[in-house]
Amino acid sequence: MPQVVLHFMRHSIKEKAPEKSDTDILLSPAGRELAAKKFENPTDMRFAHVVGSPRVRTHETGAVAATQNPETNPADLGIGKVRVDEALDFKVDERDEYGRRLYEAFAAGEYLSFLLNESDALAKEKGDTESSTYSRMAADVANIIYRNFKAASRGASILEQSEHPENEPNDFQRILATHGGIQESFLLKAVEKLKGVAERDKLFALIGGNAFDVTEGFDVTLTKEGGEEKIRITYTKGDYTFDEIVPVSVIEEIIAEGE
């Protein structure tokens, strides 16, 4: 089975350009320098893809992080190397009540608390079927992991049937750059299902009021060990480490809870 590594990360520091739409906001020079330091070794761009939301700063973050070069632009990676996935975006309208409550929580440094404790119930109360909530964002990330897991499983069949498996590309890395609250929602749900509410709350306190820091994230490694296909999630911050095999059934539960 190809070893697929998904590097989820929040975008880096963005420029201050109030005249631009949020979609067109770019990274600041400091943001480019920071993103270039994300990984110890550059990703092998022969096989890697950068995936971002429709917002340009995510593409820039992924391209710079992949090459460790602050001057890299997404187009420099070549045709087909940069992809857009709507699941990595947030969908909130600050003109309606749900959006107003979310932005108020963010301004107060309580965004993550709002997501965890209020967002699902408030969206249901308001009949809001579109806005980004805790369970919906967790499901979006779970869906990405699930799709890649299934693709890796199909890759295993190709390798097993190939007469020259050594010539098949068997390692893939993807950088998935997103926004605050999205990957955190998934990670908190996964931790709760695997290790309980107390461990989830410990992680919640560690992350802080609003979200991961810029460029912060976790890795998902899809591999096959002892004949068994596995999903391994790794997140480290300071002295805290979450490093667990996550059953596919848990990924499917998280997807179902966001529907």
Share of the chain above pLDDT 90, in %: 76
Residue 65 binned pLDDT confidence (cut-offs 50, 70, 90): very high
Q: Phi and psi dihedrals of 77, rounded to 5? A: -75, -15
- For every residue of the chain, DSSP letters joined together read --EEEEEEEE--PBP--TTS-GGG--B-HHHHHHHHTS-SS---TTT-EEEE-SSHHHHHHHHHHHHT-TT--GGGG-TTSEEE-GGGS----TTSHHHHHHHHHHHTT-HHHHIIIIIHHHHHHTT-SSS--HHHHHHHHHHHHHHHHHHHHHHHHHHHH-S-GGGS--EEEEEEEE-TTHHHHHHHHHHHHHH-HHHHHHHHHHH-SS-PPTT---EEEEEEETTEEEEEEEEEETTEEEEEE--HHHHHHHHHHT-
The pTM for the full model equals: 0.91
Q: Among 1-10, 111-120, 181-190, which stretch is predicted with the lowest mean pLDDT?
A: 1-10
User: Which pLDDT score is estimated for 158?
Assistant: 43
Residue 1 binned pLDDT confidence (cut-offs 50, 70, 90): low
User: Which pLDDT score is estimated for 2?
Assistant: 67
Residue with more model confidence, 102 or 229: 102
**Domain annotation for the chain: domains and CATH numbers:** 3-91+132-257 (3.40.50)
User: Which pLDDT score is estimated for 47?
Assistant: 66
**Tell me: the pLDDT tens digits for 75-113?**
999 888 999 999 999 999 988 999 999 999 999 999 999
User: Which pLDDT score is estimated for 57?
Assistant: 98
User: Which pLDDT score is estimated for 3?
Assistant: 77
Cα distances from 78 to residues 5, 47, 49, 75, 122, in angstroms, run 20, 12, 10, 6, 43
Q: Among 153-157, 211-215, 239-243, 254-258, which stretch is predicted with the lowest mean pLDDT?
A: 153-157
Mean pLDDT along residues 179-193: 97
Mean pLDDT along residues 115-138: 96
